[in-house]
Structure 1
Amino acid sequence: MPGARRVVVVGYPAAEALDIACVVSTLKIANYVRGTTEYRAELVSLGGAPIHTATGLTVHADAALERVTGPLDTLIVSGGLGYVGAMEDQQLVAHVRRLARESRRVASVCTGAGILAAAGLLDGRRAATHWDHAEYLAKRFPTVEFDPVPIFVVDGSLCTSAGVTAALDLCLSFVESDVGPDVARAVARQLVTYMQRPGNQAQMSVFTSATPRHSVVQQAVEYIETHLGQELTPALVARHVGVSERHLTRLFTRDLTVSPARFIRRRRASAAARLLSETNLTQDAIAARVGFRTVETMRQAFQQFYGVSPSHFQSTQRSTQRP
């Protein structure tokens, strides 16, 4: 297949099957849509051994990782529960480091970012990974800024994504960059998935949040949730639950990994998102109801947490309208 973009996907024991399948399927469908072999995807493992995935499926590798040589268009490292063992496997890490030097673009899915970090490829950079593993990886690799929020992060030729199906978003962005938005939209239609999910959109549903462990944080969250439309500051919330603002910040950071101020802003954005998708209220009315002083303040919060404007969110997420 002369001229095809060569993409090597690295697997290992207990890699996530969807991390592999989302990548390979997206690129194969791009070939189908184009009617040409735009991408040549290869799944590799150490020794070419079958990959016993974390979900119980066994996937056969196309080649041995140690025998792969460049140049490559794209190197993609899968994530999965086996990532800790993989990033401690010096042979695997060394070959990832070697192939990264021979690749136009290097990427990871989910916890595969840990393997890129072990290879020294993410030092001094911001990287996306699965929200549930970001704290562990940040402690393990303090020179890397692991961000649990965005779906994917593009930093020059290095690309990292959140967990599992975020691989679809990452690979659709590759297709859009490589062969154009029309092809990417056609691939998204074949996959029956969203096309316009920007990389900095939040990983978690806008209607979910972590469950705090400490009773003071629980009280604070309950107070915030029931007073969104009123004046809310960390100082006021701290006073309500009977602790200092500094102590409240420490508890929020430990339990929810965010400051009280950021939590308030995020919950206001989440409440606004719900109203935008489920009601016919104007943006002015919604902003006032959830405590944003202006529509512009609400717009800024949406850009920060979801990567889109309130209008765009409403046009893509609105369900059957209710008064």
Structure 2
Amino acid sequence: MHTVGLLVFPNFQALGLAVGSVFEYANILSESKFYHFRLVSEHGGPVMTSQTFSVNTERLVDANYDTLIVGGDNDCLLPSTNLLAYLRDAPKHIRRVASICTGAFVLAEAGLLEGKRATTHWFHANSFKKNYPNVILDEDRIFVVDGQIWTSAGLTAGIDLALAIVESDLGPEITRQVARKLVIYQRRGGGQSQFSTLLDLDAKTDRVQMVLNYVRENLKNELTIEMLAEVANLSPRQFSRIFTDETGISPAKAVERLRVEAARLMMDSGHHPIEIIARETGFGDRERMRQAFLRAFGQSPQAIQRLSLGNARAAVL
């Protein structure tokens, strides 16, 4: 049995508790008791969340762990010196040490991220870089694996990290079943951006939202202004003006951003050749996709694919 401990502190964000469901359903769907999930704190007993309700915890040092996950809070608070000392030595006897959200600050303070790649919530990235300049921060990643150390971005990214742990231990099929059981619309690879194009565009009317949904579902097809205007039941001129007013960018730019996001997701989720990705996401050819990636990320698709494959290999080790 693999013991997984989720380490929490006073005023931790309760959403981090959701990682426990990933391991619970991994046990149910694999018809085994592979994981023993334990909620732990430095001293044990009730621990208050940031939402002002308490959860009961076990004392940290009372168990041996295969994986220890450090939870996050809203204020990047650091634990006691005794707990930091415990974490500093944790990799000597714990196979994986991980963090959710601002838990990365705790790992960094304990010295576990020195010279390593890591991530944290994008909102706290500048503060993290200022305080821990020797950590290689990938601030636009869902999760990052560097040897024994796993770090994830904002709180829901902890679910993606937990799914990646299950995949490393039990394989992709059980992990897909867990994701389906949890009604997760889309599993996110570690290399995927913390930012969502649909959220960034922030349509203000159902008409424009309907067009954005149509674009996402038809990326492989040709998407002209005239076609999108017809979906919105507007003239092309009216549609372009309203769309730009609501989203801040032109329809053509929005289509490109959604295609780039879909292409990057394909890179994270498999070993598709660049030509196939370009075709399936509507770019048509490698050069058009390369130019779009350079505009979006300052890197070519090949460079980003190499990074995604590197993350995937690291997660399996």
Q: If the TM-score is normalised by the length of the shorter chain, which range does it land in?
A: 0.5 to 0.7
Question: Does the aligned pair in 1 maintain the 2:260–2:292 contact within 8 Å?
Answer: no
1:5 aligns with 2:2: yes
Q: Is the 8 A contact 1:50 1:60 kept in 2?
A: yes
Question: Which residue matches 2:62?
Answer: 68
Match of 2:258 among 270, 274, 281: 274
Residue 143 to residue 275, structure 1, CA distance change in 2 (3 Å): closer
Deviation at 1:92, TM superposition (A): 1.9
Is residue 93–residue 115 contact of structure 1 (8 Å, CA) maintained in 2?
A: yes
Residue of structure 1 equivalent to 2:131? 140
How far residue 73 of structure 1 moved from its aligned partner, in angstroms, is 1.0
Residue number in structure 2 paired with 1:80: 73
The range that moved more, 108-117 or 140-149, is 140-149
**TM-score, L = length of structure 1:** 0.65
Q: Specify the code of the residue in structure 2 equivalent to 1:68.
A: D
What are the within-5 Å matches in structure 2 for residues 307-318 of structure 1?
none
Q: Give the letter for the 1:22 counterpart.
A: A
* Kept after mapping to 2: 8 A contact 1:5/1:73: yes
3-state SS of 2:15 partner:
helix
5+ residue gaps in structure 1?
211-267, 309-323
Return the offset for 1:82. 4.7
Shift of 1:304: 3.6
d(CA) in 2 for partners of 1:45 and 1:11? 5
Q: Letter of the aligned partner of 2:59 in structure 1?
A: A
- Indicate the SS of the match to 2:178: helix
The match for 1:94 is 85
Instruction: State how far apart, in whole Å, the 2-side matches of 1:27 and 1:83 are.
Output: 26
Q: Tell me which amino acid in the other structure corresponds to 1:131.
A: W
Counterpart amino acid of 1:204? F
- Select the residue among 13, 16, 25 that pairs with 2:13: 16
CA contact (8 A) 1:117 1:141 kept: yes
- Cα distance, 1:14–1:270 mapped onto 2, change above 3 Å: farther
Query: What's the counterpart of residue 46 of structure 1?
Result: 42
Change (3 A) 1:269 1:77: farther
Equivalent-residue separation in structure 1 for 2:104 and 2:114 (angstroms): 11
Distance in 2, matches of 1:41 and 1:84, equals 24
Report the AA paired with residue 64 of structure 1. R
2:294 equivalent to 1:295: no
What is the TM-score normalised by the length of structure 2? 0.66
Aligned counterpart, 1:25 = 21
Contact 2:101 2:153 in 1 (8 A): yes
Which residue of structure 2 lines up, in the alignment, with residue 35 of structure 1? 31
2:54 partner amino acid = T
Cα displacement string for residues 1-29 of structure 1 (whole angstroms, at most 9, x for unaligned residues): xxx1011111001111111x221111011
Mapping of residues 98-113 of structure 1, within 5 Å: 98-113=89-104
Which amino acid in 1 is paired with 2:6?
V
**What is the CA-CA distance between 1:284 and the residue it aligns to?**
11
Partner Cα distance (1:15, 1:34) in 2: 30
Matched, 1:58 2:54: yes
Q: 1:166 aligns with which of 143, 157, 177?
A: 157
Deviation of 1:69 after TM superposition, in Å, equals 4.6
TM-superposed deviation, 1:33: 0.8
State, as a whole percentage, how many aligned pairs show the same letter: 37
Aligned residues: 236
Q: CA separation in 2, counterparts of 1:41 and 1:189?
A: 20
- Preserved contact between residue 207 and residue 270 of structure 1 (Cα < 8 Å): no
How far apart, CA to CA, are the structure 2 residues paired with 1:175 and 1:81? 27
Report how far residue 208 of structure 1 moved: 4.9
Alignment of 1:110-125 (within 5 A): 110-125=101-116
Task: State the AA in 2 paired with 1:33.
Answer: L
Superposed CA RMSD: 3.2
Secondary structure of 2:98 counterpart = strand
Change (3 A) 1:129 1:26: same
Structure 2 match to 1:241: none
Contact 2:197–2:261 (8 Å) recurs in 1: no
What CA distance in whole angstroms lies between the structure 1 residues aligned with 2:43 and 2:196?
39
